[in-house]
């Protein structure tokens, strides 16, 4: 019987299968294997803002006490730097207010580009927010020194969430506007400043997420106004139970001027609605984490918001769930054109059933209203504005396209999202979702018509686990930029080089990639020559590929009947695997345990033959199999095995050393003081027993269980065993030779079998 440590290893290996995520990315690329560029330097810490400037070829980075510019093509090249630190007096004053010295610095939280190319820069400035303007001239940035109050434009606290947007030199922001963080205001700054009312029905303990502009005025036949949308979470006032967090979307009109008497310098168009993304356990609210607007240039109503959600803000690890939901602007505006909720005298919220004033409360000015003499919000009646003030919440719920998420993942938490639109070879448009996680990975996902969303690949952006809080994408170059505490990274998400065969390239169904038949490589679809490229996003049709002549050579393994062997299978992808013995599918049974990492086998005398590990991928009901590795297993009795190994080792040693002699290398023959064997996976054998090492597979005889201290994994390490004479030849396998031991039976030996690769 196997000793407890051995049993424990196999138990843990088998149990780990149960923790595999049901919908895994097709491929995972670790930080070490990802060809990314990163910027790090001494004194650069607390990255707090990120902005792409395609027009000047720069990535602008805000951090603690400074702003940097990095080359957009290669961020390892710093082009300029501007320092903006706080004075010792401001730092001391901040600390007297009870703040930690680490917080009492200037963290650059806002970077926006003005119409003339200047940049608005705002920082926390030791809990006294300030803004300045910055220029980029002759390859260098410089602050103008025209500092002005930044209260409400950025938060006081460097770690507090907020949102901001710049449109035509006008700044929109949603942030706490006081030191104690008790007054959160969604406002427009500039010549016609407006802000929200400090009423519980407008905001109730909110967390701001993002602000977006929908350009409804472009190509509009009705003279419609642009819409500004705000995403946030808050405690629901309409729920009977306290502390229920919900997701919201709010809308205001860009040309809103406030009211003449009621709602002076306040939004007259502020409406909000619940935002639904149904997934996870019943009763759990889905909380929005980020939103990205993909504009339709022809019809703004067909524009789509893509938003990331988590099922529960408290959960983490294997129990957490995340999703991406998409919302059409026409559906959102339909909710804002609907009925309202109202608070009853009892404190309960119900549908408003009374008469609504004209125009519909919260409406934006259009040609229809202009024809009736309403040229701006200043022309709205007090009755209409009073209704808006007391009824900001809509009855309807904004639901996603098709009523369900595009993508759901278990065991991770989504954070930021951007969406790129790609034209495939057949001229169709496909949306690639680029999603950051709280563990520092990027998910590259797609959803084709009639299918669930799937993650093509996930990329590890940071070497250590930390949230992706910044995600910027250059649609011109296809480069994605992100950052963590003291590092900025750049990665090409359109890279197709990881698909090494035509089959893999087409089955991945990556909208960025197609197979170049002339160059025999997977290449970007951007700029592809139609005659030489093939792509099959809908079906993954690999029959389009040239016939491959590659064949796998079986790895030869010798086993003893009843011994336990682990045959590893490590595909480049995360696809499920299957095992075949000859032509028969292997299922888990008394002698086989099929795992995602390989096969545990306890062979009998009849189990000699070819074992094949394949990946299995199903596209549109068609199963595709690809061989990963093959083993030729020969089951032998102990004596035959040892004689074969002895001859093989001696021949290999002789050939290798002859080669070394021809190369001028000297032979070294020595007697080594052996030490107790400590081999991960094979356990410790008795002292004064023989061992043969030929690399890299191993097995142990069942009669040795009493000597095993660890379970079988891999033969990665070996140290000499005490009391044995060892022949050491430079560049040769290590062979311990004792003929009388080799021919003995049941001598409590631990045998290691490794090929010389």
Superfamily name with CATH number, domain 196-411: YVTN repeat-like/Quinoprotein amine dehydrogenase (2.130.10.10)
Q: Residue 26 above 50 pLDDT?
A: yes
Q: Residue 670 above 90 pLDDT?
A: no
As given in the structure block, the two tokens for residue 108 are 């650059």
The Cα 38–Cα 57 span in angstroms is 17
Higher per-residue pLDDT: 320 or 47: 47
The domain at 551-635 falls in which architecture? Sandwich (2.60)
Beta strands in 168-206 (DSSP E): 170-176, 184-188, 194-195
Q: Residue 165 above 80 pLDDT?
A: yes
Predicted pLDDT of residue 251: 98
647: Cβ–Cβ under 8 A, 6 or more apart, which residues? Answer: none
As given in the structure block, the two tokens for residue 354 are 């009374």
Q: Which of 19-28, 34-43, 142-151, 192-201 has the lowest mean pLDDT?
A: 19-28
Higher per-residue pLDDT: 211 or 24: 211
3-state secondary structure of 661: helix
As given in the structure block, the two tokens for residue 382 are 């007090």
Helix, strand, coil percent content, the chain, rounded in steps of 5: 15, 35, 50
Confidence band of 491 (pLDDT split at 50, 70, 90)? very high
Residue with tokens 């909000």: 272
Predicted pLDDT of residue 564: 86
Predicted pLDDT of residue 661: 38
Q: What is the mean pLDDT of residues 485-489?
A: 94
Beta strands in 447-543 (DSSP E): 454-460, 471-473, 479-484, 487-492, 513-516, 521-524, 533-534
460: left (phi over 0), alpha (psi -120 to 50) or beta: beta
The predicted-structure confidence for 260-277, as pLDDT tens digits, reads as follows 999 999 999 999 999 999
Q: What is the mean pLDDT of residues 618-638?
A: 87
Higher per-residue pLDDT: 370 or 347: 370
Cβ-contact 210, 291 below 8 angstroms: yes
The Cα 688–Cα 638 span in angstroms is 19
Q: What is the mean pLDDT of residues 188-192?
A: 94
The Cα 425–Cα 595 span in angstroms is 38
Cβ-contact 533, 487 below 8 angstroms: no
Higher per-residue pLDDT: 60 or 746: 60
Question: What is the domain partition of the chain in residue ranges?
Answer: 39-163+173-187, 196-411, 415-538, 551-635, 655-753
Q: Which of 17-21, 84-88, 189-193, 421-425 has the lowest mean pLDDT?
A: 17-21
Predicted pLDDT of residue 131: 97
The Cα 552–Cα 453 span in angstroms is 33
473: Cβ–Cβ under 8 A, 6 or more apart, which residues? Answer: 52, 418, 420, 434, 479, 480, 481, 493
Radius of gyration of the chain from its Cα atoms, rounded to whole angstroms: 33
Predicted pLDDT of residue 710: 36
Compute the mean pLDDT over every residue in the chain, rounded to the nearest whole number: 82
Q: What is the mean pLDDT of residues 531-545?
A: 90
Predicted pLDDT of residue 119: 98
Closest alpha carbon to 203 in 180, 229, 228, 183? 183
Edge-to-edge, what's the strand order for the sheet holding 414-423? 28-29, 454-460, 441-446, 429-437, 414-423
Burial of 622 (0-12, 13-18, 19+ CB in 10 A): exposed
708: Cβ–Cβ under 8 A, 6 or more apart, which residues? Answer: 2, 3, 5, 6, 682, 683, 684, 700
The predicted-structure confidence for 563-610, as pLDDT tens digits, reads as follows 888 999 989 999 999 999 988 999 988 888 998 889 999 888 888 999
Predicted pLDDT of residue 591: 86
Q: Residue 205 above 70 pLDDT?
A: yes
Predicted pLDDT of residue 646: 57
Q: What is the mean pLDDT of residues 245-260?
A: 97
Predicted pLDDT of residue 472: 96
Q: Residue 327 above 50 pLDDT?
A: yes
As given in the structure block, the two tokens for residue 750 are 């631990």
The Cα 311–Cα 321 span in angstroms is 5
As given in the structure block, the two tokens for residue 392 are 């900001």
Higher per-residue pLDDT: 742 or 145: 145
Q: Residues 243-282, buried b or exposed e (16+ Cβ, 10 A)? A: eebbbbbbbbbbebbbbbebbeebbbbbbbbbbbbebbee
Confidence band of 641 (pLDDT split at 50, 70, 90)? low
Predicted pLDDT of residue 652: 54
Q: Residue 562 above 80 pLDDT?
A: no
Residue 404 backbone dihedrals phi, psi, to 5 degrees: -150, 165
Q: Residue 502 above 60 pLDDT?
A: yes
The predicted-structure confidence for 373-387, as pLDDT tens digits, reads as follows 999 999 999 999 999
The predicted-structure confidence for 80-127, as pLDDT tens digits, reads as follows 999 999 999 999 999 999 999 999 999 999 999 999 999 999 999 999
Compute the half-sphere exposure of residue 726: CA atoms within 13 Å on the CB side of its CA.
24
Angle in degrees, CA 671, 675, 676, rounded to 5: 145
Confidence band of 221 (pLDDT split at 50, 70, 90)? confident
Q: What is the mean pLDDT of residues 455-472?
A: 96
Residue 340 backbone dihedrals phi, psi, to 5 degrees: -110, 160
As given in the structure block, the two tokens for residue 302 are 């067909």
Alpha carbon separation from 611 to 539, 555, 561 (Å, rounded): 30, 10, 16
Percentage of the chain beyond pLDDT 70 is 79
144's enclosing H/E stretch is none
Edge-to-edge, what's the strand order for the sheet holding 592-594? 565-568, 598-601, 592-594
Percentage of the chain beyond pLDDT 90 is 66
The predicted-structure confidence for 673-684, as pLDDT tens digits, reads as follows 332 222 222 233
Predicted pLDDT of residue 561: 85
């Amino acid at each position: 019987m196997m000793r407890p440590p051995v049993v424990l290893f196999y138990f843990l290996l088998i149990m780990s299968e149960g923790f595999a995520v049901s919908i895994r990315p097709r491929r995972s690329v670790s930080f070490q294997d990802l060809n990314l560029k990163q910027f790090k330097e001494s004194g650069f810490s607390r990255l707090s803002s990120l902005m792409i400037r395609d027009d000047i070829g720069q990535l602008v980075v805000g951090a603690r006490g400074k702003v940097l510019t990095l080359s957009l093509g290669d961020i390892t090249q710093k082009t300029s730097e501007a320092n903006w630190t706080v004075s010792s007096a401001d730092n001391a004053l901040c600390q007297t207010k009870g703040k930690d010295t680490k917080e009492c610095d200037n963290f650059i939280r806002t970077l926006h580009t003005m119409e003339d190319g200047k940049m608005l820069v705002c920082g926390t400035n030791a809990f006294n927010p300030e803004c300045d303007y910055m220029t980029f001239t002759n390859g260098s940035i410089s602050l103008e020194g025209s500092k002005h109050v930044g209260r409400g434009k950025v938060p006081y606290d460097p770690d507090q969430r907020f949102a901001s947007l710049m449109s035509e030199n006008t700044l929109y922001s949603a942030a706490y506007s006081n030191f104690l963080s008790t007054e959160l205001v969604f406002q427009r700054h500039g010549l016609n400043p407006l802000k929200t009312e400090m009423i519980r029905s407008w905001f109730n303990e909110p967390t701001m997420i993002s602000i977006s502009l929908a350009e409804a005025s472009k190509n509009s036949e009705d003279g419609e106004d642009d819409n500004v949308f705000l995403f946030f979470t808050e405690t629901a006032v309409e729920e009977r139970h306290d502390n229920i967090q919900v997701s919201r979307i709010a809308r205001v009109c860009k040309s809103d001027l406030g009211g003449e008497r009621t709602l002076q310098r306040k939004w007259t168009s502020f409406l909000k609605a619940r935002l639904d993304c149904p997934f996870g356990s019943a009763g759990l609210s889905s909380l929005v984490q980020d939103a990205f607007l993909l504009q339709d240039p022809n019809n703004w109503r067909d524009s789509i918001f893509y938003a990331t959600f988590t099922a529960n803000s408290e959960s983490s690890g294997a129990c957490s769930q995340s999703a991406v939901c998409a919302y059409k602007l026409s559906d959102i505006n339909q909710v804002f054109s609907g009925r309202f909720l109202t608070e009853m005298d009892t404190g309960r919220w119900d549908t408003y059933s009374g008469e609504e004033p004209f125009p519909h409360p919260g409406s934006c000015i259009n040609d229809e209203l202009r024809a009736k003499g309403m040229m701006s919000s200043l022309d709205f009646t007090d009755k209409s504005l009073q209704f808006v003030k007391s009824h900001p919440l809509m009855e309807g719920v904004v639901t996603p396209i098709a009523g369900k998420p595009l993508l759901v993942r278990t065991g991770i938490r989504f954070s930021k999202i951007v969406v790129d639109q790609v034209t495939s070879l057949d001229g169709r448009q496909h949306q690639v979702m680029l999603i950051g996680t709280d563990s520092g990975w990027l998910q590259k996902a797609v959803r084709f018509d009639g299918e669930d969303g799937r993650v093509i690949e996930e990329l590890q952006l940071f070497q250590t686990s930390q949230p992706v809080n910044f995600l910027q994408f250059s649609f011109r170059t296809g480069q994605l930029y992100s950052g963590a505490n003291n590092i900025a990274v750049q990665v090409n998400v359109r890279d197709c080089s990881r698909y090494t065969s035509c089959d893999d390239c087409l089955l991945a169904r990556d909208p960025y990639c197609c197979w170049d038949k002339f160059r025999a490589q997977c290449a970007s679809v951007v700029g592809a020559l139609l005659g030489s490229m093939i792509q099959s996003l809908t079906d993954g049709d690999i029959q389009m590929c040239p016939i491959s002549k590659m064949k796998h050579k079986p790895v030869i393994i010798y086993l003893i009947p009843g011994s336990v062997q682990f045959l590893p299978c490590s595909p480049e992808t995360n696809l499920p695997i299957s095992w075949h013995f000859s032509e028969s599918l292997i299922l888990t049974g008394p002698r086989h345990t099929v795992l995602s990492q390989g096969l545990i086998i306890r062979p009998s005398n009849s189990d000699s033959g070819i074992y094949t590990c394949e990946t299995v991928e199903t596209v549109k009901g068609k199963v595709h199999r690809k061989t990963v590795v093959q083993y030729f297993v020969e089951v032998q009795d102990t004596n035959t095995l040892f004689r074969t190994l002895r001859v093989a080792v001696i021949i290999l040693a002789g050939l290798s050393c002859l080669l070394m002699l021809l190369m001028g290398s000297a032979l070294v023959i020595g007697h080594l003081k052996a030490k107790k064997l400590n081999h991960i996976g094979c356990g410790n054998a008795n002292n004064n027993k023989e061992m043969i090492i030929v690399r890299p597979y191993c097995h142990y005889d069942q009669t040795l269980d009493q000597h095993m201290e660890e379970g079988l994994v891999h033969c990665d390490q070996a140290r000499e065993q005490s009391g044995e004479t060892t022949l050491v030849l430079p560049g040769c396998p290590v062979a311990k030779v004792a003929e009388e031991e080799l021919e003995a039976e049941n001598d409590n030996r631990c045998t290691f079998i490794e090929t010389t690769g």
